[in-house]
Amino acid sequence: MSFAKINDDILRTLRPPGVLYYAGLALALSALATGTAAFLHQAQTGLGVAGYEHPIFWGIYITDFVFWVGIAHSGTLISAVLFLFRAKWRTAVARASEAMTVFAVMTAGLFPIIHIGRPWFFYWLIPYPNERELWVNFRSPLIWDVFAITTYLTVSAMFLYLGLMPDIAAARDKVKDWRRPIYRFLSFGWLGTDRQWRHYTALYGFFAALATPLVISVHSVVSWDFAVSILPGWHSTIFAPYFVAGAIFSGLAMVITLLVPMRRIFRLEHYVTVHHFENLAKLMLATSLIVGYAYLTEFFIAWYSGSPFEQGTFFDRMFGQYRGYSWTMFACNVIIPLALFWKAVRTNLAVLFVISIFVNVGMWLERYVIIVTSLSHDFDPANWAGVYQPTWVEAAITVGSFGLFFTLFLLFVKNFPAVSITEMKETMDRSAEADPASAWPEPV
Amino acid sequence: MEILGIFDRGKTAAAATREILEGELGEVVSYSPVPDHALDQALHVSVSPVRVFVLVGGLLGCFLGFAFPIYTVLDWPMITGGKPLISIPPFVVIAFELTILLGAIGGMIGFLVLSGLPRVFGRPAPDPRFTNDMTGIAVTCARDHAAAVRACLERHEAVEIRG
Interface ipTM: 0.94
Query: Can you tell me the mean pLDDT for A380-388?
Result: 82
Contact assessment for residue B135 and residue A193, using Cβ atoms and an 8 Å cutoff:
no
pLDDT in the model for residue A429:
60
Residue of A nearest to B49 (CA): A199
- Residues in B touching A166 (Cβ below 8 Å): 33, 131
Whether B128 contacts chain A with CB within 8 A: yes
pLDDT in the model for residue A193:
92
pLDDT in the model for residue A432:
54
Interface size between A and B, measured as CB pairs under 8 A:
182
Domain positions in chain B: 2-47+129-162, 50-115
For residue A174, pLDDT beyond 60: yes
DSSP state letter for B140: E
Beta-strand pair B160-162/B2-7: antiparallel
d(Cα A426, Cα A166) in Å, to the nearest integer?
Answer: 12
Contact assessment for residue A42 and residue A393, using Cβ atoms and an 8 Å cutoff:
yes
For residue A361, pLDDT beyond 90: yes
For residue A410, pLDDT beyond 50: yes
The top-level CATH class assigned to A3-438 is mainly alpha
Q: How far is B90 from chain A (nearest CA, A)?
A: 5
Domain positions in chain A: 3-438
Q: Which of B12, B13, B10, B11 is nearest to B139 (CA)?
A: B13
pLDDT in the model for residue A430:
53
Interface of A with B in 214-243 (CB under 8 A): 214, 217, 221
Query: Can you tell me the mean pLDDT for A284-292?
Result: 96
d(Cα A414, Cα A17) in Å, to the nearest integer?
Answer: 7
Q: Which of A118, A125, A158 is nearest to A144 (CA)?
A: A125
Taking only the tens place, the pLDDT of each residue in A195-250 is 999 999 999 999 999 999 999 999 999 999 999 999 999 999 999 999 999 999 99
Contact assessment for residue A79 and residue A94, using Cβ atoms and an 8 Å cutoff:
yes
- Give, in degrees to the nearest 5, the angle at Cα A132 between A126 and A138: 40
Instruction: Tell me the pTM.
Output: 0.92
Pick the range with the lowest mean pLDDT from A72-76, A242-246, A353-357, B46-50: A72-76
Which of A173, A214, A217 is the closest to B128 by Cβ? A173
d(Cα A105, Cα B102) in Å, to the nearest integer?
Answer: 19
3-state secondary structure of A268: coil
What are the distances in angstroms from CA A113 to CA A61, A116, A444, B139? 9, 5, 45, 56
pLDDT in the model for residue A433:
47
Residue of B nearest to A183 (CA): B120
Whether A131 contacts chain B with CB within 8 A: no
DSSP E strand boundaries for chain B: 2-7, 26-31, 135-141, 160-162
Cross-chain Cβ contact A169/B131 below 8 Å: yes
Cross-chain Cβ contact B133/A2 below 8 Å: yes
Residue of B nearest to A191 (CA): B125
Taking only the tens place, the pLDDT of each residue in B96-112 is 999 999 999 999 999 99
The rounded percent of chain A whose pLDDT value lies above 70 is 96
The pLDDT-based confidence of A435 (bands split at 50, 70, 90) is: very low
Taking only the tens place, the pLDDT of each residue in B57-81 is 999 999 999 999 999 999 988 888 8
pLDDT in the model for residue A438:
43
Q: Which of B9, B33, B18, B38 is nearest to B127 (CA)?
A: B33
Whether B77 contacts chain A with CB within 8 A: no
Choosing among 1.10.1740, 1.10.10, 3.30.70, 2.40.160, the CATH entry for B2-47+129-162 is 3.30.70
List, as one string, the DSSP characters of A70-121.
HHHHHHHIIIIIHHHTT-GGGHHHHHHHHHHHHHHHHHHHHHHHHHSS-GGG
Interface of A with B in 26-55 (CB under 8 A): none
